[in-house]
Amino acid sequence: MRVVLSSDCFDRASVGDLLQLFFFGARGRHRVYPEALNAPAYLAWLSARDPAVREVCELSIRGATLEEVRNPSARAVRVVPSVATQWDAKPPTVSIDDAINFLATAFTFVLEDGENDREFLLAFCTREEREWLVDQEKRSHLIFANGGGVGSMTRLAGELAQNQRRQLLHWMLFDSDALRPGVPSQQSMLLAEACKTANVLFHQLCRRFAESYLPIRSLHGWVYGSTSRKRDHEPRYLAFAALSDPQRQHFHMKKGFEQDRRRYESGDTAGDLYNDVPESSMEELEAGFGSNIGSLYSEGWVHEVELRKESGWSELRAALHGAMALLR
């Protein structure tokens, strides 16, 4: 996050507080720099510091300037001395005490399925991005949180709507559960609307679930990777592979068409999406590939070279860029 120190800070704030802020920048946690590098108050303050302190400040400023050119941050706060914090200002105007506390708080990626969705998200990263995100997690700068499903996430969004400070520290990723292209489930749409109301940035998957982004070659490798899986899943895999892209992208990968019957009974249907699928294939796809199919992302079956061939690559890359810009 860009942290802009108002010139008044250097007249009125304690040296210790200002050093805490500059250390956030020197350690690469945030991008911290004065509002004006040529401001008399800043120059006088800096000249009164010993060489070690000046080095920390200059390291923070150089790092912030370089990283903003390479990878711009999506958000900023302006730090001012001894005033009431205004989280709803643009950018938020934050007192020094509140800034120190806020900047030390971890950013949270709220994922509908905390474990599998973490691996799903990391699968769409380049190696450098993956290493950076994992490092942020190890340093407790980032939390991959289990959202507990769309209902729990909708309640969380409602809570965030009442807390502007916390809104700045969250991003959400969740399924569309769309039975057909462009028609997310009612529950998913309610969550999307709750996020908009709360000013929480999010990404609602275009395909049905995270496992709907598994490349067909990855699924092939998994099915034929063991005798038992080939025995249990080969006919279903062949029927699935014969589907069109939209059909595969909205199929219930875990439980198959059987799981969707309740939705159909309530009037929420796939329309004519599967009308051209042979009856024999529909029978094979009555069941899915099991509740653990999402674990293919963490078990080494999914590779970047295959993901790049899929339309989902550009979708998730855009979502990742947005999420990482919030964290920077």
Residues 113-141 have pLDDT tens digits of 867 899 999 999 999 999 999 999 999 99
* Whether residues 189 and 322 fall in one domain: yes
Looking at the structure of the chain, the number of domains it has is 3
C-alpha span between 52 and 230 (Å, rounded): 64
Region 77-94: mean pLDDT is 91
C-alpha span between 90 and 78 (Å, rounded): 9
**Residue 264's pLDDT band (cuts 50, 70, 90):** confident
Q: What is the pLDDT of residue 116?
A: 86
CATH number at residue 146: 3.40.50
pLDDT in tens, 177-208: 999 999 999 999 999 999 999 999 999 999 99
* Whether residues 168 and 182 fall in one domain: yes
* Whether residues 200 and 243 fall in one domain: no
* Whether residues 204 and 321 fall in one domain: yes
Q: What is the pLDDT of residue 115?
A: 74
Q: Where does a domain end: 86, 103, 120?
A: 103
* Whether residues 295 and 215 fall in one domain: yes
Inter-helix orientation angle 127-138/312-327, to 10°: 40
pLDDT in tens, 15-53: 999 999 999 988 889 999 899 999 999 999 999 999 999
pLDDT in tens, 291-321: 999 999 999 999 999 999 999 999 999 999 9
Q: Where does a domain end: 103, 128, 146?
A: 103
C-alpha span between 172 and 111 (Å, rounded): 6
* Whether residues 111 and 205 fall in one domain: yes
* Whether residues 113 and 204 fall in one domain: yes
Range of the domain at 122: 107-209+313-327
Pairing of strands 142-146, 107-111: parallel
3-class SS at 260?
helix
Q: What is the pLDDT of residue 236?
A: 96
pLDDT in tens, 59-76: 899 988 888 888 889 999
* Whether residues 166 and 194 fall in one domain: yes
* Whether residues 249 and 174 fall in one domain: no
* Whether residues 205 and 228 fall in one domain: no
Closest to 179 in 3D by CA, of 117, 240, 239, 252: 252
Instruction: Locate 59 and state its tokens.
Output: 């390291």
Which stretch of DSSP H or E encloses residue 151? helix 150-160
* Whether residues 250 and 119 fall in one domain: no
Q: Where does a domain end: 103, 126, 156?
A: 103
* Whether residues 63 and 86 fall in one domain: yes
DSSP structure string for 33-68: EES-TT-HHHHHHHHTS-HHHHHHHHHHHHHHHHHH
C-alpha span between 267 and 82 (Å, rounded): 58
Helix spans in 71-149 (H)? 96-103, 114-123, 127-138
